Structure 1
Amino acid sequence: MKDRPTLSDMTAFMAIVAHRSFSKAAQELGQSPSTLSHMVRNLEAKMGVRLLHRTTRSVSTTEAGDQLATRLRPVLKDFDLAIDEIGALRGRPSGTLRINSSDIAIRLLLASVVPTFLARYPEMSLDLVTDGMLSDIIAKGFDAGIRLGDDVPRDMIAIRFGGDVRFVPVASPLYIAANPAPTTPEDLRHHTCIRFRLPSGRLFHWEFEKHGQSISIDVPGPLTLDSMSLMAEAAADGLGIAYLSDDVARSFIQRGALRLVLEDWCPAIPGLFLYYPGHRHVPPGLRAFIDVLKERS
């Protein structure tokens, strides 16, 4: 191939693949969408094959584009590691750290860890992605992920932070006034519940434990949502009982918009973990982030 693609071509292509959007990729790279579109057309011309399907509403990879992206991810990751290692010789981490997480976990990081990290390491950038999925962080090109302990893959190194969490059923005073509060988890089968759909499409079962007895309930209810924040608002509006993390429910409870039910059936469980592959070199930026995470937890 006489006119070989450049690193800039490949970086632009991978940004578009990651965001599935020319405009979002352009924002990340600091270029215009038209410039990226021109770069992709040139890349396709150089390689002699179409890499992306483009419509006015969506961008997706062709078979060739998917194959190229799969091969490029580790290559570009190794390139970033090489730059990071050279930067580490100066004693200052630099580059971009990509972390996949849930919305709730990133809110927690933004309140404590992120400001300290960015102030301490001004040459570092953070790319925090909330896709709502339990993504394969290696396949998707992330440096680390953050999830509840039960969701962390067994082959990963995991670092706990943020303390224990609880998931609790809550309802508005209006709902409780019209419906006797449940006294056991089985009573929920006779209540209007707000159901939660996981990113996989599966409906989440509510889990309870008391005196060594564990119960999992597939609750009934006409309303299903995929956001705990929206579930909290719906419950506060009297639409039923919701099962929320205490971090989401806390502000609603404090202002009297929601009340706890079945509290004695809701023990605390191990909370969030940052995890990363143990068989790879740990970038200096990730090491620095872990240090701040431990310090602020």
Structure 2
Amino acid sequence: MRASELSELAAFAAVARHKSFRMAGEERGVTASAISHAILNLENRIGVRLLNRTTRSVSLTEAGDLLQSYLDPAFGEITSALDALNRFRDTPFGRVRINVPNSVAPFVIGHVIGPLLAKNPNLQLEVSATDRLVDIVKEGFDAGIRFGERVSEGMIAVRIKPQLRLVVVGSPAYFERRSVPITPHDLKRHFCIQNMFPSGARYAWDFKKGGQSVSFQPTGPLSLDDHELMVEAALSGVALAYVWENRVQKHIADGELVQVLDDWCQPEEPLYLYYPSRRHLSAGFRALIDAMKGPV
């Protein structure tokens, strides 16, 4: 088989996974038009239509579905064979793609990237940071990160560091005008930022002390879906923010923000790296897992 024919098959396999020429192009590092051209060449060469195309969607024909069922395990075997060569190299070779929540990415991956790539210079690490819910299989990621061990069926979860917690902060200027809250119930008398998911859904400020749990849902005029903006709003003195403690530690140390209700703010659920149980664990991916787990 010629290299061009193998490239066309790889392009088709990417489109079959993503049901999108654009996303397949991003995975392959080429344009969507290049992917489309490769698929057309493949269909013309074999004389069979593999994809149904409309202006809004891409789907597999019966022939395309059959071809995909053969290509997925075949390309999996090729990947495994290439990864087996890592034992003849000083360091792992290959690409690893992970999805990380944008709000925690700096704390989870920021301290890992430098040492990981320094030890593994042949590794290509692609990190997509977004707080939207992502289907890592459908979108071609090797792994994702989320809170809690609850993941979809067929996934493996590995606990990683650090363990983060959300805290309540406000500026000194804000507290010159308002009293410091002693319990979460006092927040009803304060301006509090509403925390949003990218979908627009709001999530509550959750607190726990001893055996008592309190869930507070802000109703203030400001709603944000980005922790960076929440911190900036708190620094400006406009409202209280419920943000990651790691993100505001320096502001607290410098006296720019005041942390309140500390004894009510409990650690979050642990973070987990998750990936499909059927996934081949390449040497590069194992190196990433080891780096994110950190020292025992």
* TM-score bracket, shorter-length normalisation: 0.7 to 0.9
- AA partner of residue 211 (structure 2): G
Alignment correspondent of 2:223: 224
Q: Compute the TM-score of the two structures, normalised by the length of structure 1.
A: 0.78
Question: SS at 2:193's partner residue?
Answer: strand
Alignment correspondent of 1:57: none
For the aligned residue pairs, the C-alpha RMSD in angstroms reads: 3.6
Alignment correspondent of 1:290: 289
- AA partner of residue 85 (structure 2): G
What pairs up with 1:160-239 in 2 under 5 angstroms? 160-239=159-238
Stretch deviating more after TM superposition (170-179 or 246-255): 246-255
- AA partner of residue 281 (structure 1): H
Identity within the alignment, %: 34
CA distance 1:79–1:134, shift in 2 (3 Å)? farther
Distance in 2, matches of 1:285 and 1:27, equals 20
Distance in 2, matches of 1:133 and 1:80, equals 32
> Which of 86, 89, 113 is equivalent to 1:88?
86
- AA partner of residue 62 (structure 1): V
Q: Is the 8 A contact 1:253 1:259 kept in 2?
A: yes
Stretch deviating more after TM superposition (198-207 or 7-16): 7-16
Alignment correspondent of 2:76: 78
Q: Is the 8 A contact 2:203 2:217 kept in 1?
A: yes
Question: SS at 1:103's partner residue?
Answer: coil
Distance in 1, matches of 2:283 and 2:122, equals 12
How many residues are treated as equivalent by the alignment?
A: 286
Stretch deviating more after TM superposition (33-42 or 221-230): 33-42
Distance in 2, matches of 1:113 and 1:80, equals 29
- AA partner of residue 57 (structure 2): T
Q: Is the 8 A contact 1:236 1:257 kept in 2?
A: yes
Question: SS at 2:229's partner residue?
Answer: helix
1:6, distance to aligned residue in structure 2 (A): 3.8
Stretch deviating more after TM superposition (43-52 or 135-144): 43-52
1:39, distance to aligned residue in structure 2 (A): 3.9
Q: Structure 1, residues 57-84: CA drift from partner, whole Å, max 9, x if none? A: xxx533449x87x979955862563344
Q: Is the 8 A contact 1:165 1:246 kept in 2?
A: yes
Alignment correspondent of 1:61: 57
Stretch deviating more after TM superposition (92-101 or 273-282): 273-282
Q: Is the 8 A contact 1:44 1:51 kept in 2?
A: no
1:119, distance to aligned residue in structure 2 (A): 2.1
Distance in 2, matches of 1:272 and 1:241, equals 26
Q: Is the 8 A contact 1:105 1:272 kept in 2?
A: no
Alignment correspondent of 1:133: 132
Question: SS at 2:203's partner residue?
Answer: coil
Unaligned runs of 5+ in 2: none
1:168, distance to aligned residue in structure 2 (A): 0.7
Distance in 1, matches of 2:37 and 2:77, equals 24
| 1:156 has 2:152 as partner | no
Q: Compute the TM-score of the two structures, normalised by the length of structure 2.
A: 0.78
Q: Is the 8 A contact 2:103 2:227 kept in 1?
A: no
Distance in 2, matches of 1:103 and 1:76, equals 34
1:267, distance to aligned residue in structure 2 (A): 1.7
Stretch deviating more after TM superposition (73-82 or 262-271): 73-82
1:34, distance to aligned residue in structure 2 (A): 6.0
CA distance 1:230–1:282, shift in 2 (3 Å)? same
Distance in 2, matches of 1:280 and 1:28, equals 17
Distance in 1, matches of 2:255 and 2:42, equals 58
Q: Is the 8 A contact 2:161 2:294 kept in 1?
A: no
Q: Is the 8 A contact 1:184 1:262 kept in 2?
A: yes
CA distance 1:30–1:78, shift in 2 (3 Å)? closer
Q: Structure 1, residues 118-142: CA drift from partner, whole Å, max 9, x if none? A: 2222222111112322323233332
Distance in 2, matches of 1:125 and 1:147, equals 22
CA distance 1:43–1:160, shift in 2 (3 Å)? same
Distance in 1, matches of 2:275 and 2:112, equals 18
